[in-house]
């Protein structure tokens, strides 16, 4: 079982910022997430993130992802199903059967992708069922896929899938997946997208991998089998913290209770972003909490190893792997 200094659950702005800060402190860092970007991907234009007059959610996430990876953070697209404390370490298990250990854990998954809730979905997660078009679209070059979802944020998803796959079915419950006629026409312009209106998923079929998605027409009740290699589910997000019950304190909304240092009720577990009880659900606040959680995790790990750490200011110059060092910065640790 591979061991890391810190495992971060979630790859939204809070999780990736935490990964950046943890990796810069030279902690071995693994990010595990079912998707990349979380709810930030639903935002086409952000005008209130410091440093940018205007930037899309995707652009912002990609920039922070690149920074985190540059300093050594690893990212695994999988779903965390359980976290347990064992012999002074935390064991993290995922839906695909992976197991990892860490000295500290940062919970930063915000809200989780909404699932279809149909037979076969759970069994085929990671085996053709995906909740992240940005992450997995390149894996389906020249193959047939289906997108289950609607709304403006799915315009970029359908275009991305259209450009990789040979055929894309677009399943949605209403008459049109987009109200914007111009965008819908652009999405359909390549000729390999087929709309499946008034429909809902019924079952994912497949043995070891996805082979088809069965959908039902809500008007006629007719069942239709779409033979595909991949099922992309982009129906929004929900809070999923049930697996944390008994591990950390949750409030009545299911949010993780934290103190001002992003510490939870369980020593060694920290939380940041929308999964926490912080009332202001803003990208810049989530990013700040991610940095706070990472530095608190760093202090926790160091103290476990017998090194007393006070307040940490990450102002120092850290040499980027593969890049020539151009100067020195400042590192201050207040005791």
Give percent of the chain above pLDDT 90.
74
pLDDT class of 333 with cuts at 50, 70, 90? very low
Structure-model confidence comparison of residues 307 and 237, the more confident one:
307
Give Cα separations from 72 to 36, 81, 128, 131, 242 (angstroms): 17, 25, 28, 25, 31
Q: Which of 261, 265, 263 is nearest to 245 (CA)?
A: 265
In the chain, DSSP finds a helix count (H) and a strand count (E) of: 6, 19
Architecture of domain 129-233: 3-Layer(bba) Sandwich (3.50)
pLDDT class of 95 with cuts at 50, 70, 90? very high
Dig out the tokens for 147 from the structure.
């997108």
- Tell if the pTM clears 0.85, that is, is over it: no
Give Cα separations from 26 to 82, 103, 104, 330 (angstroms): 26, 14, 14, 16
CA distance 60 to 50: 11
CA distance 102 to 97: 17
Q: Which CATH number fits domain 2-113+237-334: 3.50.50.60, 3.40.190.290, 3.30.1950.10, 2.60.40.10?
A: 3.50.50.60
Those residues with Cβ within 8 angstroms of residue 289's Cβ, 6 or more apart along the chain or in another chain: 14, 262, 272, 273, 276, 278
Backbone CA torsion sign across 79, 74, 97, 94: negative
Query: Where are the domains positioned within the chain?
Result: 2-113+237-334, 129-233
Dig out the tokens for 117 from the structure.
């809730």
Structure-model confidence comparison of residues 321 and 78, the more confident one:
78
Dig out the tokens for 303 from the structure.
């103290």
Q: Which of 172, 153, 160 is nearest to 237 (CA)?
A: 153
Q: Which of 7, 27, 9 is nearest to 309 (CA)?
A: 27
3-class DSSP state for residue 271?
A: strand
CA distance 139 to 233: 15
The answer to whether domain 2-113+237-334 and domain 129-233 are alike in fold is yes
Q: Which of 41, 63, 36, 42 is nearest to 52 (CA)?
A: 63
- Rounded to a whole number of angstroms, the CA Rg of the chain reads 21
Residue 30 has pLDDT above 60, yes or no: yes
Q: What is the pLDDT of residue 324?
A: 54
């Amino acid at each position: 079982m591979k061991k890391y200094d810190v495992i971060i659950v979630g790859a939204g702005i809070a999780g990736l910022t935490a990964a950046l800060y943890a990796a810069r402190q030279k902690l071995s860092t693994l990010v595990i997430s079912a998707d990349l970007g979380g709810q930030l991907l639903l935002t086409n234009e952000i005008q209130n993130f410091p440093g940018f007059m205007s930037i899309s959610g995707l652009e912002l996430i990609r920039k922070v992802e690149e920074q985190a990876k540059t300093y050594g953070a690893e990212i695994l697209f999988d779903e965390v199903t359980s976290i347990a404390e064992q012999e002074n370490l935390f064991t993290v298990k995922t839906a695909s059967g992976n197991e990892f250990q860490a000295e500290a854990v940062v919970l930063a998954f915000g809200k989780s992708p909404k699932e279809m809730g149909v037979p076969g979905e759970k069994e085929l997660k990671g085996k053709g069922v995906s909740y992240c078009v940005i992450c997995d679209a390149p894996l389906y070059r020249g193959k047939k896929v289906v997108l289950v979802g609607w709304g403006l944020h799915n315009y970029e998803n359908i275009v991305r899938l259209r450009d990789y796959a040979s055929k894309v079915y677009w399943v949605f419950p209403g008459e049109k997946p987009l109200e914007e006629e111009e965008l819908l026409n652009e999405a359909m312009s390549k000729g390999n997208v087929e709309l499946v209106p008034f429909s809902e998923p019924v079952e994912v079929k497949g043995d070891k991998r996805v082979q088809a998605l069965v959908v039902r027409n809500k008007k006629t009740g007719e069942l239709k089998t779409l033979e595909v290699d991949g099922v992309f589910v982009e129906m929004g997000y929900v809070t999923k913290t049930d697996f944390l019950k008994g591990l950390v304190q949750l409030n009545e909304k299911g949010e993780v209770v934290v103190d001002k240092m992003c510490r939870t009720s369980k020593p060694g577990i920290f939380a940041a972003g929308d999964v926490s009880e912080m009332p202001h659900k803003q990208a810049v606040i989530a990013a700040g909490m991610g940095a706070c959680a990472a530095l608190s995790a760093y202090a926790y790990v160091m103290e476990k190893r017998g090194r007393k750490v006070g307040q940490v200011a990450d102002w120092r110059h850290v040499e980027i792997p593969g890049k020539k060092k151009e100067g020195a910065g400042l590192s201050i640790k207040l005791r």
